[in-house]
């Protein structure tokens, strides 16, 4: 079963530990700018959203890549950049609708789910980020809704 990185903005506290965990794992240093995930903090609205590559099923970045350097692994679902084939044209940056692919130090920076055990989710104590089986990703939301409905239902019965 394919696992996905489930993102819950309601649980994000804006601590940016995901950025630290990512940059350490990917570059060996703590540097939020080098992280493949960024917690976007909309302070006025008090809305915090960790955002990274969503590993699209039919990725725009792969479609636009003239050298075929970007491919999707059918087994794991991870969208990967093959460094050897990449010519650095940066068309993928243009194509990604979410802006989650970037270019730094002559390299593309993009989430690869850490090869199947994403460090960001491992370090996210509030559980805004969880690495879960795709089919089960909706469970928490369904559960939350059931609980709300239960309360309303109880009220109706009275």
Partner 1 sequence: MMYGWIGQTLRIDLKSGKIKKNTLNPELARDFIGGRGLASKLLYDEIDPTIDPLSPKNKLIFVTGPLTGTYAPSSGRYMVVTKAPLTGTIGSSNSGGYFGPELKYAGYDLIIFEGKSKKPVYLWIDDAEVELRSAEHLWGKNTYETEDLIKGETDEDARVACIGQAGEKLIKFACVMNDKHRGAGRSGVGAVMGSKNLKAIAVKGTGSVKVADKDCFRKATLDCYEKIKANPVTGKGLPRWGTPMLVNVINAHGIFPTKNFLFGVFEGVDKISGETLADKILIRNRGCFGCPIGCGRVTEVTDPKFKGKGEGPEYESIWSLGADCGVDDLGAISKANYICNEMGMDTISVGGTIACTMELSEKGYLPTEDIGLGRKLCFGDAEAIVELTKKAGNRDGFGNILAEGSFRLAEKYGYPELSMGVKKQEFPAYDPRGVQGMALEYATSNRGACHVRGYMISPEIVGLPLPVDRFETEGKADLLKTFQDLTAVVDSSGICLFTTFAIGIAEIRALLKSATGIDYTAESLMIAGDRIWNLERFFNLKAGFTSKDDTLPQRLLKEPMPEGPSKGHVAMLGEMLPEYYKVRGWDENGIPSEAKLKELGLEK
Judged by CB under 8 A, the number of residues near partner 1 is 24
Q: Is 51 in the site for partner 1 (CB under 8 A)?
A: no
Give me 86's structure tokens. Answer: 């990449």
Q: What is the closest distance, in whole angstroms, from the C-beta atom of residue 34 to partner 1 in the complex?
A: 7
Q: Cβ(80)–Cβ(71) under 8 Å?
A: yes
Q: Is 38 in the site for partner 1 (CB under 8 A)?
A: no
CA distance 131 to 76: 12
Please select the residue that binds partner 1; options are 32, 49, 51, 80, rule is CB under 8 A.
32
- Cα three-residue angle 116-104-108, rounded to 5 degrees: 45
Q: Is 122 in the site for partner 1 (CB under 8 A)?
A: yes
Residue 71 phi, psi (nearest 5) = -135, 160
Which residues contact partner 1 (rule: CB under 8 A)?
A: 10, 13-17, 20-21, 23-24, 27-34, 43, 46, 122-123, 125-126
């Amino acid at each position: 079963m394919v696992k996905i990185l489930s993102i819950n903005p309601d649980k994000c506290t804006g601590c940016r530990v995901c950025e630290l965990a990512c940059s350490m794992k990917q570059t060996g240093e703590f540097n939020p700018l080098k992280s493949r995930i960024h917690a976007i903090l909309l302070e006025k609205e008090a809305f915090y959203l960790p955002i990274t590559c969503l590993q699209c099923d039919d990725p725009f970045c792969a479609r636009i890549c003239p050298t075929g350097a970007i491919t999707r692994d059918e087994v794991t679902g991870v969208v990967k950049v093959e460094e050897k084939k990449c010519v650095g044209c940066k068309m993928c940056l243009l194509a990604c609708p979410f802006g989650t692919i970037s270019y730094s130090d002559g390299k593309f920076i993009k989430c690869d789910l850490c090869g199947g055990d994403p460090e960001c989710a491992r370090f996210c104590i509030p559980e805004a980020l969880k690495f879960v089986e795709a089919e089960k990703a909706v469970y928490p939301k369904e559960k939350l809704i059931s609980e709300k409905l239960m309360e309303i239902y109880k009220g109706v019965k009275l």
